[in-house]
A = this chain, B = another copy of it.
Amino acid sequence: MTASMNPPGITAVLLLSCPDRAGLVARIAQFIYERGGNILDLDEHVDVRDHHFFLRVSWSLDRFSIPAAGLEEAFAPLALEFSAVWKISLSGRRDRVAIFVSKYDHCLRELLWRHSLGEFEIDISLIISNHSDMAPLAAHHGIPFHVIPVTPGEKAEAERLQIGLCEAAGIDTIVLARYMQVLSPQFTLRYPSRIINIHHSFLPAFVGGNPYRQAYERGVKIIGATSHYVTDELDEGPIIEQDIIRITHRDTLEDLVRRGRDLERMVLSRALGLHCEHRILVNGRKTVIFG
* A contact residues vs B (CB 8 Å cutoff): 21-27, 29-30, 32-34, 36-49, 63, 109, 113, 119, 140, 202-206, 217-222, 224, 238-244, 248-250, 252, 258, 262, 266, 283, 285-289, 291
Chain B residue numbers with a CB within 8 Å of A36 are 22
Is the Cβ of B29 less than 8 Å from the Cβ of A249? no
CB–CB A249/B288 < 8 A: yes
Which one of B21, B33, B40, B224 lies within 8 Å of A26 (CB-CB)? B33
Copies in the complex: 4
- Chain B residues with Cβ below 8 Å from A203 are 205, 218, 220
Indicate whether A217 sits within 8 Å of B266 (C-beta atoms), given known contacts A32-B26, A42-B25, A222-B224.
Answer: no
Residues in chain B near residue A252, CB distance under 8 A: 48-49
Instruction: Using CB atoms, name the residue of chain B closest to A265.
Output: B262
Contacts of A289 in B (CB 8 A): 221, 248-249
Q: How far is the CB of A68 from chain B (nearest CB, A)?
A: 18
CB–CB A38/B26 < 8 A: no
Q: Quick check: B266 and A242 within 8 Å, CB to CB?
A: no
* Residues in B neighbouring A258, C-beta threshold 8 A: 119
CA distance A24 to B212 in the complex (A): 31
Assess whether A30 is in contact with B41, with CB atoms less than 8 Å apart. Answer: no
Tell me whether A220 and B206 are in contact in the complex, defined as CB-CB below 8 angstroms, given that A22-B33, A38-B22, A249-B283 are known contacts: no
Q: Which residues of B contact A241 (CB under 8 A)?
A: 221
* Cα–Cα, bound, A241→B220 (Å): 8
Given contacts A30-B26, A248-B289, contact A239 B262 (CB under 8 A): no
> Shortest CB–CB separation between residue A264 and chain B, in angstroms?
13
Contacts of A266 in B (CB 8 A): 262
Closest to A207 in B: B205
Q: Which 4 A-B pairs have the closest CB atoms?
A: A219-B286, A26-B29, A26-B33, A205-B205
Shortest A31–chain B CB gap in Å is: 8
A29 contacts which chain B residues (CB < 8 A)?
A: 25-26, 29-30
